[in-house]
Amino acid sequence: MMYHSCFVNEDGVKKACGCPLLPLKTHIKGPAPSADQDSVDIVDEAITFFRANVFFKNFDVQSSGDKLLVYLTLYINVALKRLEGCRTLAEGTKAIINLGLETVPVPGEQGFPFSGLFTPPQSKKEAELLRNYLKQIREETSGRLLSCAYRHNGTPNKWWLAFAKRSFMDMAIPQPPR
């Protein structure tokens, strides 16, 4: 059974390129609206559903929240592949920071993984809004993912890092040279 996002109500949610700019529980600056710290946000959903959804070769997108869930599932997959060789939390943090420094492509640009899922930007302003939102949500996801991928003593959590071997929707993700 595929897990879908509970963010299906699009009333009052700003969008960029067909991507909803959902609220986040974050301290990272960016265009995302603030969410209540006690509520579940899209990052919580993506991390919670990742280990089940990563097994699917297809994903039936039922809402715009699902679009962001698919994007984050692929991003978590990329992040876990980067963390795979890191034996300590410090190494993992360095790898995640380097991933965060990479350029975030938007629909219509080379390197954007889901060109059919999102619409190309209508203006530079819309492209920058989406780029900043995706950068913010990727940074927030990375921070929360580190607490799952590594135990409190800084050693890798094999029950999470084993999923680095999976490929979400059969998408090949290029690895940078080490």
Residue 175 domain-assigned (yes or no) = no
| Mean pLDDT estimate for the chain | 87
Q: List the beta strands (DSSP E) in 95-143.
A: none
- Tokens 């949500």 -> residue: 137
* Domain hosting residue 88, numbered range: 15-170
What is d(CA 39, CA 45) in angstroms, rounded to the nearest whole number? Answer: 11
What is d(CA 164, CA 143) in angstroms, rounded to the nearest whole number? Answer: 17
Residue 86 domain-assigned (yes or no) = yes
Between 54 and 140, the more confident residue is 140
The pLDDT of residue 128:
96
Between 157 and 13, the more confident residue is 157
Residue 7 domain-assigned (yes or no) = no
- Tokens 């980067």 -> residue: 82
Structure tokens at 59: 């994903």
Using alpha carbons only, what angle is made at residue 153 by residues 94 and 144, rounded to the nearest 5 degrees? 50
**pLDDT tens-digit map of 98-113:** 998 888 999 988 888 8
Number of domains the chain is built from: 1
Phi/psi for 16 (5° steps) reads -140, 120
**pLDDT bucket at 96, cuts 50 / 70 / 90:** very high
CATH number of the domain to which 125 belongs: 1.10.1760.10
Residue 71 domain-assigned (yes or no) = yes
| Number of neighbouring beta carbons within 10 Å of residue 46 | 25
- Per the document, the length of the chain is 178
Residue 4 domain-assigned (yes or no) = no
Residue 164 domain-assigned (yes or no) = yes
| Number of neighbouring beta carbons within 10 Å of residue 144 | 18
